[in-house]
Structure 1
Amino acid sequence: MKAKAVRMYGTRDLRLEEFELPQIKDDEILVKVMSDSICMSTYKLVEQGKKHKRAPQNIDTNPVIVGHEFAGIIVEVGDKWKDQFKPGQKFAQQPALNYKGRLDSPGYSYEFCGGATTYCIMPHEVMELGCLMPYEGDAFFEASLGEPMSCCIGGFRGNYHTNKRNHDHAIGTKEDGNIIILGGCGPMGLGAVSYGIQFENKPKRIVVTDISDDRIARAKEVITPEYAKEQGVELLYVNTASMADPVKELIDLTEGHGYDDVFVYIPNRQVAELGDKLLAFDGCLNFFAGPTDNQFSAEMNLYNCHYTSSHIMGTTGGNNDDLIEANTLAAAGKIEPAVMVTHVGGIDSIAEATLNLPKIPGGKKLTYTQFDMPLTAIEDFAKLGETDPLFKKLDEVCSANRGLWSAEAERILFEHFGVTDEI
């Protein structure tokens, strides 16, 4: 079968090309990819090339398909899995494999498995680890965004708290506590807010910081403080760039208590150190943002670590349970992965968008791999719609949905390009 994919041959060497997929083995599954959102982790991969810990050393001759936030339809099932999977099923997948201690992962390590493609082959370890999952939702993009949402969920569930009576750890963010998400008006931060206001360990307050008034304004539109209040959570968006004394002013928002759970969502030393200074007694700082520099470090107050039981940890990725929870909550309308998305494009936009990801403003870049389409900001739909009927339709649908992408918008694109959910 012919496939068209974005493949990595080396550092910053991405190529969109057509090639032949081999016949699947008895323990493999062939899938049709429908949607693939672009992750900053893929940008880090292409910046590092062979130096990346998940990249094979022979990518110059056996390139890997990039993209790991993808969803689609099962096309052909090897004999080993025929009792579990059927052609025509929609799927979601968890790329954070840990197979026999190896770091191999779809979108990083496989010649024939990744998201930036029309078709790919799921290797046996994906199914053996339970990382290929039937998906019952209406929109493929929500399954794609299930992966980054699972990372946010993993962060909330990975935090922990202690007590002085025994050595038991309370897992998860502190119930009725104060949460702060530093650098939180980007796509992942908004995903965390969407989840945090409905997490069973519901906090009393979530404070979200940024240094851009524009990002804060969009955040307030897509997840309003009024909506959070209806869920029983006080939600505050603040610009720390306008604060004379960020530590004092942020702690004042908690009536002097400090923050029980601090999430650092950008890999910035000053932001990490600010987070450390904001911790309450027994506060947990989660360094969520993944740095590119393997020597990245920051100064932490070890006096407080000793005497006030503050603790520092990090989470990366989510597990199968986190992905199942993300997809279940999205299908039920309890979280909105669409708050992450600001741009939409086709398979022909993936390489350039990935190579320039830090320079492109906004949130998640969502791509559909079965057709070509320039990467387009949702906020530009109205202007483009003055002369293009497709964007006029898309603008009408998104404008009626607080400027958010939706299942209806996805269907409009599929109909326009003649894409079906058949195999």
Structure 2
Amino acid sequence: MKTRAARIHGKNDIRVQEFELPEIKDDEILTKVISNSICMSTYKAAKLGSEHKRVPEDIAENPVITGHEFSGEIVQVGAKWQDQFKPGDKFAVQPALNYLGSPYSPGYSYKYFGGNATYTILPHECMELGCLLKYEGESFADASLAEPMSCIIGAFHANYHTKDFVYEHFMGIKEGGKLALLASAGPMGMGAIDYIIHCDRKPSLLVVSDIDAARLKRAESILTVEEAKRNGVELHYVNTNEVENGEEYLMELTNGEGYDDVFVYAPVKPVVEMGGNILGRDGCLNFFAGPTDNKFSASFNFYNVHYASTHIAGTSGGSTGDMIESLEMTAKGTINPAVMVTHIGGLEAVPETILNLPNIPGGKKLIYPHIDMELTAIDDFEEKGNADERFKALSEIVKANKGLWCLEAEKYVIANF
């Protein structure tokens, strides 16, 4: 079977090519990829090429398929797995394989295994490690977004709290406590807000800060204060550029007590330090943002570490359990990962999108490998509809859904592009 895929051949060298897939082995599974969400970590891999720890040295001769946030349908199942999976099953992939200590994972390391492809082969380790996950929902986009959502969920599980002279960590955010998300009106922050106000372990107070007025306005219009209140959470959106002293203002919202949990969504020193300064007693600061500078550092008040039991947590990625939680909540309609999506495109758009990702505004870029569409902002559908009736129809569909990507839009784009 032939496939088309966007592959890394070297530093800053991604090419969309058609090539032949081998016949699957008894311990492999052939799948059709329906959607893939592009991650900033793919940009890092493309920029570094074989210098990236997950990218093999021989990519010039054996290029690797990009994309690790993908979903689709099973096409053919090797004999070993036929009692567990069948053709037509919908799936998502947990990319953090960690197979026998290997750093390799889909989207970085495999010749035939990655999300920016029309068809891909899942190797034996994917199934042996329980990383091929069945999906019971309808939207393939939502299944693709389960991976970034799992990173969000994992961070909330990783926070911890203590009791005086009880030498045990109590995992998770403080239920009924005060929680702040800093620099968090972007795509991952949107996912976090959605999860917090709909999960089974909620704070009583949630404060979301950012300095981008447009991002804050969008977040507030989609994940509303009223929706949070209906779920028992008092939600505040704060532009820290528009208050005299951002740190003091955030503290005032807690009546001076400080926050039990603070999540920092940007690797910016003043933001990290603000996060530490607004912690209350036994407060946990989670450094969620992944810096590219391996010497990145910030100050932390160790007086408060000693006398107020403040502490730090951090995670990179989510576990398989976190991803299953995301898929289950999505399938039930409890959360809507599509709040993160701002752009749609086809396979040909992948190289330019990945290599320019930091310069493209907005949130998640969602790729449908079987369609022909340049990367297009959802906000531009209406204008493009003046010349193309298909975009006019897409614009009407998303307008009826608060401007968000949705199942109806997905079905339309697959059928018409």
Q: Distance in 1 between matches of 2:36 and 2:227?
A: 29
Counterpart CA distance in 2 for 1:45 and 1:255 is: 45
SS at match of 1:300: coil
Alignment of 1:411-422 (within 5 A): 411-417=411-417
1:17 aligns with 2:17: yes
Aligned position for 1:341: 341
**C-alpha deviations, 1:284-340, integer Å up to 9, x for none?**
111111111222222222221122111112111111111111111111111010100
Q: Matched residues in 1 for 2:55 and 2:308: separation?
A: 41
Aligned partner of residue 345 in structure 2, secondary structure: strand
Q: Find the counterpart in structure 2 of residue 386 from structure 1.
A: 386
Q: Given the two structures, how large is their TM-score scaled by the length of structure 2?
A: 0.98
User: Larger deviation: 242-251 or 127-136?
Assistant: 242-251
- After superposition, what is the alpha-carbon deviation per residue over 1:201-256, rounded to whole angstroms, capped at 9, x for unaligned? 21011111111111111111111111111111111111112232221111111111
Structure 2, unaligned runs of 5 or more = none
Partner of 2:246: 246
Q: Distance in 1 between matches of 2:213 and 2:28?
A: 48
Q: Could you list the runs of 4 or more consecutive aligned residues of structure 1 that deviate by over 3 angstroms after TM superposition?
A: none
Aligned-residue offset at 1:18: 1.1
For 1:111, the aligned partner's letter is K
| Residue type of the alignment partner of 2:10 | G
Q: Which residue of 1 aligns with 2:375?
A: 375
Aligned to 2:64: 64
* Cα deviation, residue 412, structure 1: 0.7
For 1:386 and 1:227, the matched residues in 2 are separated by 35
1:165 Cα offset (Å): 4.0
Distance 2:44 2:310 in 1: 31
Q: CA deviation at 1:168?
A: 2.2
Cα deviation per residue 1:111-169 (whole Å; 9 max; x = unaligned)?
11110010111111110110101111111000000111111110111111011041122
- Deviates most, 97-106 or 209-218: 97-106
Alignment match, 1:207: 207
Q: CA deviation at 1:49?
A: 1.7
1:420 corresponds to which residue?
none
Q: Which amino acid aligns with 1:15?
A: R
Secondary structure of residue in 1 paired with 2:330: helix
- Once the two structures are TM-superposed, the CA of residue 262 in structure 1 deviates from its matched residue by 0.8
Cross-structure match for 1:294? 294
Q: Which amino acid aligns with 2:187?
A: P
Match of 2:231 in 1: 231
Counterparts of 2:310 and 2:134, CA distance in 1: 40
Alignment size in residue pairs? 417
Corresponding residue for 1:40? 40
C-alpha displacement at 1:199, in angstroms? Answer: 2.1
Q: Which amino acid aligns with 2:150?
A: S
**More divergent stretch after superposition (241-250 vs 333-342):** 241-250
Alignment of 1:125-204 (within 5 A): 125-204=125-204
Does the 8 A contact of 2:371 with 2:413 survive in 1?
no
Alpha-carbon distance between aligned partners in 1 of 2:187 and 2:386, rounded to the nearest angstrom: 28
Percent identical = 57
2:285 paired with 1:285: yes
In structure 2, give the amino acid aligned to 1:344.
Answer: I
Indicate the SS of the match to 2:198: coil
The one-letter code sitting in structure 2 at the alignment partner of 1:49 is G
The 3 A distance-change label for structure 1 pair 265 and 378 is same
Amino acid at match of 1:259: Y
